[in-house]
Amino acid sequence: MLLIDGDLRASRLHLTLGASAKPGLSDYLCGEADEFKVVQTGQQPNLSLIAGGTEVPNPSELLHSNAMRSLLDRLTPLFDWVILDSPPAIAVHDASMLADICDGVLFVVRAGKTDFEVAQKAASEFGEERVLGVVLNRVEKSDGYPYYYGYSTEKEET
């Protein structure tokens, strides 16, 4: 699996994986590194990463470039899965641009923070056929229902 940090405005995936931020996607897109230099393999078996790279003033232009398409065309045949992480869909147009060059979108919504109407608007920008599913993350126990399949998470009073 290849994980690509497409959030060139606030790249953070490398931190989670204990990897280097550079060279990364922006370095490739600017022509400063080839695809072999930006793909990192780490301690996790079968997981490779392309970090965000060097901070750039024009992330949208780079993500919408022919170089981005070329990178995906070159690397996609080498991996079973290529997952492209993008910035939030409402904040900037980068997510919908990246969605246009992907097979599908897995839409991530933060529990208790993302307003339903905002999420619905963002998802509609991708097109119904592009959204493969929704991930609800950062769910707290108190955010859910007290009963799940007949089992209570709270003690019943007798």
pLDDT at 131: 84
- Classified as helix, coil or strand, 66 is helix
pLDDT digits (tens, 9 = 90+) for 14-33: 998 889 999 999 999 999 99
Position 29 scores a pLDDT of 96
Question: CATH 3.40.50.300 in the chain, residues?
Answer: 1-86
Distances (CA, A) of 15 to 49, 51, 63, 134: 11, 9, 21, 24
Q: What average pLDDT does the structure give for the chain?
A: 84
Dig out the tokens for 80 from the structure: 């079973």
Which pLDDT value is given to residue 100?
A: 84
Could you tell me the two tokens for 136? 């609800």
Give pLDDT tens digits for 139-150.
877 645 555 555
Helical ranges in the chain per DSSP H: 13-17, 25-29, 35-38, 59-63, 66-75, 94-99, 116-126
Q: Which CATH code, of 3.50.50.60, 3.90.190.20, 3.20.20.70, 3.40.50.300, is assigned to 1-86?
A: 3.40.50.300
pLDDT per position as a tens digit, 47-96: 999 999 999 999 999 999 999 999 999 999 999 999 999 888 776 778 88
* Cβ–Cβ under 8 Å, residues 105 and 24: no
Tell me the backbone φ, ψ of residue 115, rounded to 5 degrees: -70, 140
Provide, rounded to the nearest whole percent, the portion of the chain with pLDDT above 90: 45
Higher pLDDT, 107 or 61: 61
Average of pLDDT values for 111-130? 81
**In this predicted structure, what is the pLDDT of residue 154?**
55
| Eight-class DSSP state of 100 | T
Report the pLDDT value the prediction gives residue 6, as an integer from 0 to 100. Answer: 93
What pLDDT shows up at residue 138? 84
- pLDDT score at 66: 93
What is the pTM for the complete model shown?
0.80
